[in-house]
């Protein structure tokens, strides 16, 4: 076997192996972060959990890149980082963490997967035309969501449940705006360093809100039962999985790298059932499946339009 053939085979194995492994990691472990968030917020304010998570993870990112003497952002790059830190971490991550305090982790994950739906609605609001396939996907999503919430109709009479659903929906919408902004303002700046800066900056905003409103608790009063999931969220959710996500995004085709969004809710629902005893009913299984199919069709239609 010639050296060229060996090199070609090795390159192909690396292309298929590591990126696919990264995608599998993202698909599973981001699903588990919904459960970790649910556990962390049981005994402390949710926004404080989000702030601590983002502060520690962001600080670790910054320490690494500063030690490597990585160039800092310049000019308008700071504006993009600031806007994304507000959209993706202060609002999206902060509100979604707050939301699972009042709803199941599985339900939060299903709502969290609805980013493509909001992107289409935002595009419609801006006057853009969408394809029939996207409209069909929206109708399927709506049917699946109605099926899921059919058995939760009485829950909507509870203010906490209403609040949790509202927080989760707003969190998903802000992530959609962040996604659209990222596509519009794609920068050449190091994405991993940018991620660390976004996390660190967002933690400052979150802590400022927690201190101003007085909703936080002293660090010494945070129980061990909350610290363990926070550590998990930092190491697995904010560092390793984000690194794997960006790597998969750079190495795999878009239609393949986006599969994680449909697998995360499945992981969260199944593990939520086994670990927390959350309901795993026919309505959730069937309605969730229909919703994910609709989201896939919307996502497919959006990619087809771009291409």
The three-state (H, E, C) secondary structure of the chain, written as one string: CCHHHHHHHHHHHHHHHHHHHHHHHHHHHHHHHHHHHHHHCCCCCHHHHHHHHHHHHHHHHHHHHHHCCCCCCCCHHHHHHHHHHHHHHHHHHHHHHHHCCCCCHHHHHHHHCCHHHHHHHHHHHCCCCCCHHHHHHHHHHHHHHHHHHHCCCHHHHCHHHHHHHHHHHHHHHHHHHHHHHHHHCCCCCCHHHHHHHHHHHHHHHHHHHHHHHCCCCCHHHCCHHHHHHHHHHHHHHHHHHHHHHHHHHHHCCHHHHCCHHHHHHHHHHHHHHHHHCCCCCHHHHHHHHHHHHHHHHHHHHHHHHHC
Q: What is the pLDDT of residue 67?
A: 94
Q: How far apart are CA 208 and CA 230, in angstroms?
A: 19
Q: How far apart are CA 257 and CA 261, in angstroms?
A: 9
Q: What is the pLDDT of residue 252?
A: 77
Task: Indicate the pLDDT class of residue 254, thresholds 50, 70 and 90.
Answer: low
Average pLDDT over the chain reads 85
Residue 304's alpha-carbon distances to 37, 53, 138, 140, in angstroms, are: 35, 37, 16, 19
Angle formed at CA 53 by CA 47 and CA 56, multiple of 5 degrees? 135
Q: How far apart are CA 126 and CA 301, in angstroms?
A: 18
Q: How far apart are CA 62 and CA 197, in angstroms?
A: 7
Count Cα atoms within 13 angstroms, Cβ side, for 66: 8
pLDDT tens per residue, range 43-54: 999 999 999 999
Q: What is the pLDDT of residue 145?
A: 80
Task: Indicate the pLDDT class of residue 100, thresholds 50, 70 and 90.
Answer: very high
Q: What is the pLDDT of residue 9?
A: 45
User: Using an 8 Å Cβ cutoff, are 241 and 29 in contact?
Assistant: yes
- Mean pLDDT along residues 113-141: 81
- Mean pLDDT along residues 153-172: 88
Q: What is the pLDDT of residue 235?
A: 95
CA dihedral 121, 125, 128, 134 (to 10 degrees): 20
pLDDT tens per residue, range 173-202: 999 898 888 776 655 678 889 999 999 999
């Amino acid at each position: 076997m010639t050296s060229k053939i060996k090199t070609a085979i090795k390159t192909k194995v690396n292309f298929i192996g590591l990126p696919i492994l990264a995608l599998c990691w993202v698909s599973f472990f981001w699903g588990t972060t919904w459960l970790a968030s649910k556990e962390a917020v049981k005994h402390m304010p949710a926004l404080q959990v989000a702030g601590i998570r983002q502060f520690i993870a962001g600080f670790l990112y910054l320490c690494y890149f500063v030690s490597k003497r990585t160039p800092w952002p310049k000019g308008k790059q700071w504006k993009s980082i600031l806007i994304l830190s507000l959209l993706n971490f202060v609002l999206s991550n902060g509100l979604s963490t707050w939301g699972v305090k009042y709803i199941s982790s599985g339900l939060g994950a299903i709502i969290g997967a609805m980013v493509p739906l909001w992107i289409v609605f935002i595009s419609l609001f801006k006057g853009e035309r969408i394809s029939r396939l996207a409209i069909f996907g929206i109708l399927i999503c709506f049917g699946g969501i109605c099926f899921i919430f059919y058995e939760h109709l009485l829950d909507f009479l509870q203010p906490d449940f209403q609040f949790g659903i509202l927080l989760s929906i707003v969190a998903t919408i802000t992530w959609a705006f962040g996604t659209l902004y990222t596509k519009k303002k794609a920068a050449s700046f190091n994405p991993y360093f940018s991620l660390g800066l976004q996390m660190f900056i967002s933690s400052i905003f979150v802590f400022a809100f927690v201190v101003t409103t007085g909703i936080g608790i002293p660090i010494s009063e945070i129980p061990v039962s909350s610290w363990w999931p926070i550590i998990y969220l930092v190491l697995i959710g904010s560092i390793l999985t984000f690194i794997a996500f960006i790597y998969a995004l750079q190495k795999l085709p878009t239609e393949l790298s986006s599969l994680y969004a449909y697998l995360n809710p499945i992981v969260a629902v199944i593990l939520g059932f086994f670990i927390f005893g959350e309901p795993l009913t026919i309505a959730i299984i069937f309605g969730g499946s229909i919703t994910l199919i609709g989201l896939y069709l919307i996502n497919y239609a959006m990619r087809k339009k771009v291409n």
